[in-house]
Structure 1
């Protein structure tokens, strides 16, 4: 399993937990290797160079098939060359605000930004799901927001705590580590419904951005030429692993919501994601590294 990001992040944690269980089910130890860089494309290029026998896996997300739109210089076609076979876990994202921001709810923040347009928000980086979530939020709420892409979640959070950045869009698990001690405010979760991990946090839709949904998730991918019989087996075994009580408990403990779907359901979900995010990317001219 080649993980396109650094150790310790949400993708890495989900992959390691599920791959450990998957290896036990298959009687085949699975080595997890981190290969970060170039917006996940270094890892994907390595997977596509490997023998298409199902023994080399990687992780993707709901927007993996849109990578060529986010980076026109790719040497491969993500939508055609990578097959997304099974979801791993959904990742609730939240909008946080520094304590100096005079708003405790999304409704109050909307009023404040309309009186003070151009407020900045940070994300773990350009062209990340968090960045797309911010662009969608600004568009749907009719707000002027300025994006600042950081190199990861931690520096964005630290700048919010330090008063150097008013807003940030980060993962729920990261936010809750600090919010409980009052170091910043959590204004809302970006999913269509409240997260089971923090049911007391309202959705941004409840806060006044009607219909807003910026959920995202991690999944398992293989190269396009892997035989269907292998793809089907991997889907079944990954789904089985995600139903294991210990796996579910471990994932939820780190702020990840286990996620399963049939192959047909999952392909419909991916199609819906492409339809939702493609116009957002095009309208915002969102590019990796910009």
Structure 2
């Protein structure tokens, strides 16, 4: 599978229209910035925060186009059909390589048609208990789950086949407790029903859960990342709280069409990294609940391969489809 993906990427690069590789003159005109989700969401917020500063560094506007729908495949498909000249940039996430497993007859392959530019930020995923679940911490949840194996605990997520849904399945498998997924159309609806007691448990993004946790309306049982989050260092990781080795993360990254000259990709990457290391940008992201991430291409490739292999197995074993 990997050999085929790399072969397709090489073929796309050879067949792509020739474009100048002179990075010193790039960009000489405005750049399209495709966000494959609606305005105001997490991807949109991260994209606008980072690329507003990138625009200042490179001297050209990055014009945001929100092309939402079909699990990001509409916007990313547009990016995959663009000229490989650096004048169309997309902001997606670490779950993009899973799209061919979730959607039939895609017009593009995110592995072979899109080239990595830079990581932008991560959103910690958390396990959250509502008022209808009598568990003050993860150990109590595990005890409840293992005591009532014939009665699975329902958990909400922002959507079917979302990173949160996959993390919930993975958590149930590693923890050895039966869970039943309840998909919602977005975080707001899932959170409302969790607070209202209609569903006892949820897997959400940390920013959306943190405010309600601090108001005493919800209880965050653990963060799914390998390390504690800088946004809430008092919250233990799920691994340290009772499920050793558990980790489930999600990050946003910038990509371009495969075949874009490496000097242009490098210039873009350098500008993104400078933006993320700017105190005002980092502070703005953290205030919105996002943690800046500056992985090298090699680090990102390794992490992406590991995550893709893990979640692909979860998708196949549970026969999941995109909504």
TM-score (norm 1): 0.96
Counterpart residue number, 2:166: 132
Counterpart residue number, 1:54: 86
Counterpart residue number, 1:87: 119
Q: Is the 8 A contact 1:66 1:79 kept in 2?
A: no
Q: Is the 8 A contact 1:235 1:263 kept in 2?
A: no
Name the Cα RMSD after superposition.
1.2
- 1:251-262 equivalent positions in 2, closer than 5 A: 251-262=285-296
Counterpart residue number, 1:151: 185
Cα displacement (A) at 1:49: 2.3
Name the CA distance, whole Å, in 1 between partners of 2:137 and 2:34.
40
Counterpart residue number, 1:276: 310
Query: Runs of 5+ in structure 2 lacking a partner?
Result: 1-32
Counterpart residue number, 2:43: 11
Q: Is the 8 A contact 1:97 1:167 kept in 2?
A: yes
The answer on 1:97 being equivalent to 2:132 is no
Residue deviations 1:70-96 (CA, integer Å, cap 9, x gap): 223312111111112210001111111
Name the CA distance, whole Å, in 2 between partners of 1:51 and 1:75.
16
TM-score (norm 2): 0.87
Cα displacement (A) at 1:178: 1.1
Larger Rg: 2
Residue deviations 1:242-278 (CA, integer Å, cap 9, x gap): 1111100100011100000222222222222222222
Once the two structures are overlaid, the 10-residue window that deviates more, 191-200 or 270-279, is 270-279
Cα displacement (A) at 1:63: 2.0
The answer on 1:21 being equivalent to 2:53 is yes
Aligned mate of 2:155, from 121, 125, 134: 121
Query: Runs of 5+ in structure 1 lacking a partner?
Result: none
The answer on 1:141 being equivalent to 2:182 is no
Once the two structures are overlaid, the 10-residue window that deviates more, 35-44 or 65-74, is 65-74
Once the two structures are overlaid, the 10-residue window that deviates more, 60-69 or 190-199, is 60-69
Name the CA distance, whole Å, in 2 between partners of 1:234 and 1:273.
25
The answer on 1:265 being equivalent to 2:295 is no
Aligned mate of 2:75, from 43, 46, 51: 43
Q: Is the 8 A contact 1:65 1:79 kept in 2?
A: yes
